[in-house]
Amino acid sequence: MNLLDRLLGRRASARTLAEGDAGVVTRDDPAAPSVRGAAGNRSRSRGSGQFQSPASRERARTAFPTVPADVLRQVRLVELRTRRLVNSVFAGEYRSVFKGQGMEFAEVREYQQGDEVRTIDWNVTARMGRPFVKRYVEERELTVMLVVDLSGSDRFGTVRRFKSEVAAELAAVLAMSAVGNNDRVGLLLFTDQVEHVVPPRKGRRHALRLLRDLMVYDPIRRGTDVAGAAEYLGRMLTHHAIIFILSDFQDEGLERPLKHLAQRHDVIAVTLTDPAEESLPNIGLARFRDPESGVLVDVDTSDGRLRRAYSERVGAEAADRRQLLRRLAIDEISVSTDTGYLEPLLRFFRTRQARVERHR
């Protein structure tokens, strides 16, 4: 749902807007590339090749020029900050919530007080003349995919940071948690097309590469297509994975692709918001630019009915999104630019852990 839709509460063209919607006048910005158009048109041709392999697009374009030294320093600082968080605050939280796919035999050792009787290896016990037990360890080999929205609406923020900056640091925490538990982690960056993909691998060096890509990559487009990214993942991932989708979810047609993805994988929606998106300020006549289509919108913000309609529209969008995610059994982590991600992420881990313990 783009800015125009929120202001009007319906889909409309620039011509219709100019002809009679009180309080709002739009004009195309000639300098802005048309991504979705004034109507926020999200039509896309399924299977038309729009979601082709990102590698073919990147061969025609240098997505990662030489990384400046100050960016590398920033990557290092983010790594240090997130690693501290992982080691202190999230120690054990990630591992206890995301279990491995099974158990594998590790060793046979002598029985100790408190060991489960059912773990006794009776063959070894008979040979040795004293009790021995089998010890098993969790078979991890989990795959984590970080799916990050780089559309125009995510490069927005009015408090401390842009939504995209919060997403990058939160993704870094998740990546460090994954590699710290010997799990594989991958990255998918998208706008209204899949822009960049890094296959899942292990290791700190790989996690740093993901962090660099998050901070350096310059997206080609500005629109949003969460559904297209979900469909791409469904084709890409052949085994069960944990998928974090970091986006403001200002998109439509999400139910079918998210439902299919959640049937095979553990999908977690990380919803990014900013306080300024929730209501229009009363500042008289103001000009807004849709961050995805580039369309300029002149709005009389002194119109109380328009401000109320906008706030109601935003509230309805959030309620619809929460209802959809609950219906699909997809957990949601709500993160705002004014509060940060620490508390919402901890709350998610603790809620998940409580659910796991209830089902034991």
Q: State how far the Cα of 69 lies from the Cα of 73, in Å rounded to an integer.
A: 6
Strands 24-27 and 184-190: unpaired
Q: State how far the Cα of 217 lies from the Cα of 339, in Å rounded to an integer.
A: 25
Mean pLDDT of 172-190: 91
Q: State how far the Cα of 32 lies from the Cα of 35, in Å rounded to an integer.
A: 9
DSSP string, 262-301: HHHSEEEEEEEE-GGGSS----SEEEEE-TTT--EEEEET
Ramachandran angles phi, psi of 285, nearest 5°? -75, 125
> Which amino acid, one-letter code, is at 184?
R
**Sorting pLDDT into bands at 50, 70 and 90, what band is 236?**
very high
> Which amino acid, one-letter code, is at 73?
R
Cβ-count burial 80-119 (b if 16+ within 10 Å, e if not):
eebbebbeeebeebbbebbebeeeeeeeeeebeeeeeeee
Q: Supply angle C-alpha 184, 188, 193, rounded to 5.
A: 160
Task: Show the 3-state SS of 55-72.
Answer: HHHHHCCCCCCCCCHHHH
Q: Per residue in 261-273, pLDDT tens?
A: 999 999 999 999 9
How far from 208 is each of 175, 200, 212, 259, CA to CA, in Å? 9, 13, 6, 31
Q: Is the pLDDT of residue 102 over 60?
A: no
How far from 99 is each of 92, 140, 270, CA to CA, in Å? 11, 7, 20
DSSP string, 216-259: H---S-----HHHHHHHHHHH--S--EEEEEE----S--HHHHH
The neighbouring-strand residues paired with 26 are 297
Q: Is the pLDDT of residue 213 over 70?
A: yes
Least confident interval from 78-82, 90-94, 101-105, 109-113: 101-105
| pTM value > 0.75 | no
Q: Supply angle C-alpha 322, 325, 326, rounded to 5.
A: 85
Give SS3 for 139.
Answer: strand
Residue-level pLDDT at 50: 44
Q: CB of 110 within 8 A of CB of 132?
A: yes
Residue-level pLDDT at 30: 43
Q: CB of 150 within 8 A of CB of 191?
A: yes
Question: What six digits make up the tokens of 166?
Answer: 């919060």
Residue-level pLDDT at 98: 67
R_g of the chain, CA atoms, integer Å: 24
Mean pLDDT of 217-244: 94
Residue 220 CA, distance from chain mean position? 19
Q: Using CB atoms within 10 Å of the CB of residue 176, give its burial: 0 to 12 exposed, 13 to 18 middle, 19+ buried.
A: buried
Q: Where are the domains of the chain?
A: 3-91+141-358, 103-139
Q: Per residue in 302-345, pLDDT tens?
A: 999 999 999 999 999 999 999 999 999 999 999 999 888 989 99
CATH topology of domain 3-91+141-358: Rossmann fold (3.40.50)
Residue-level pLDDT at 330: 96
Question: Which one-letter DSSP state was computed for residue 189?
Answer: E
Q: Per residue in 23-60, pLDDT tens?
A: 555 555 444 433 333 333 333 433 333 444 554 454 44
Q: State how far the Cα of 153 lies from the Cα of 36, in Å rounded to an integer.
A: 12
Question: What six digits make up the tokens of 281?
Answer: 């300020």
Q: In what order do the strands lie in the sheet with 266-273?
A: 194-201, 184-190, 143-149, 242-247, 266-273, 331-336
